[in-house]
Amino acid sequence: MAKIKVIETGDGSSSLYNEALNETYHSSHGALTESRYVFVQSGWDAIREAKKEVTILEVGMGTGLNVILMVEQALKYPDVTIKMTTLEPYPLTAGLLQELNYTALLTDELTPYFEQIHSCNWEEEVAILPNFILTKKKETLETFIAPKNRGFDVIFFDAFAPNKQPEVWSVENLEKCFAATIDQGIFVTYCAKGQLRRDLVSVGYDVERYPGPPGKREMLRGWKK
């Protein structure tokens, strides 16, 4: 396994640094700030209104920061059921997860849920809350087969940067995401690369450049219209 160490980001929240890739798991300007802005605010908040059930696919579970932030949203909106599927081919060790400071920065109420999202079984639907159902899948997006019955309202595309892991951003993977997005659903990512924007358009998304989180001018959001 690659050498990974805990770092502190600009807003005081932890992230991880993968030495082999020379890449961090989040923006150095602030992991918590970035996740809240890119995925919660620009993804979930953009589509949740008037919905009783929201399905989310995350590409790259990593530290579970996006997952715990969605548990927080499930507590905030008890009338909405969130079904989140998250893909992670290389789960982190318990030792590393314990060194992260997310539970100290979030409300105490979330601490047991952070532990549960990491300790629960892979490949199973687990009710973390009555209205938060998590399915962790230990696999890549390349091998993932999306369920046929219902697509995803939102895709959180949180892979390592395209120059570090180009294979994850392949047109084939983006086509898979588009096919798995429901009508009026969205694809959000922190990345703002021109090539990605063109690839997202080529697979069918209506793409908007959207103001980025602190330290990043823009991010991309694609709508399936």
Ligand X SMILES: C[S@@+](CC[C@H](N)C(=O)[O-])C[C@H]1O[C@@H](n2cnc3c(N)ncnc32)[C@H](O)[C@@H]1O
**Binding residues for ligand X, per CB under 6 A?**
25, 35, 59-63, 65-66, 87-90, 140-142, 158-160, 165, 168
| Nearest distance from C-beta of residue 88 to ligand X, angstroms | 6
Please, which residue, 81 or 189, has the CB nearer to ligand X? 189
Dihedral (C-alpha) 37, 152, 74, 107: value to the nearest 10 degrees? -40
Under 8 Å CB-to-CB from 120, ≥6 apart: which residues? 126, 128, 134, 136
The three-class DSSP label of residue 177 is helix
Tokens of 13: 């929240």
Tokens of 129: 């809350």
Please, which residue, 153 or 158, has the CB nearer to ligand X? 158
Please, which residue, 160 or 210, has the CB nearer to ligand X? 160
| Nearest distance from C-beta of residue 25 to ligand X, angstroms | 4
CB-CB contact of 173 with 203 (8 Å): no
CB-CB contact of 154 with 103 (8 Å): no
| Nearest distance from C-beta of residue 191 to ligand X, angstroms | 10
| Nearest distance from C-beta of residue 185 to ligand X, angstroms | 19
Strand partners, 87: 59, 137
Amino acid, single-letter form, for residue 140: T
The three-class DSSP label of residue 34 is helix
Please, which residue, 13 or 81, has the CB nearer to ligand X? 13
| Nearest distance from C-beta of residue 79 to ligand X, angstroms | 26
Please, which residue, 61 or 196, has the CB nearer to ligand X? 61
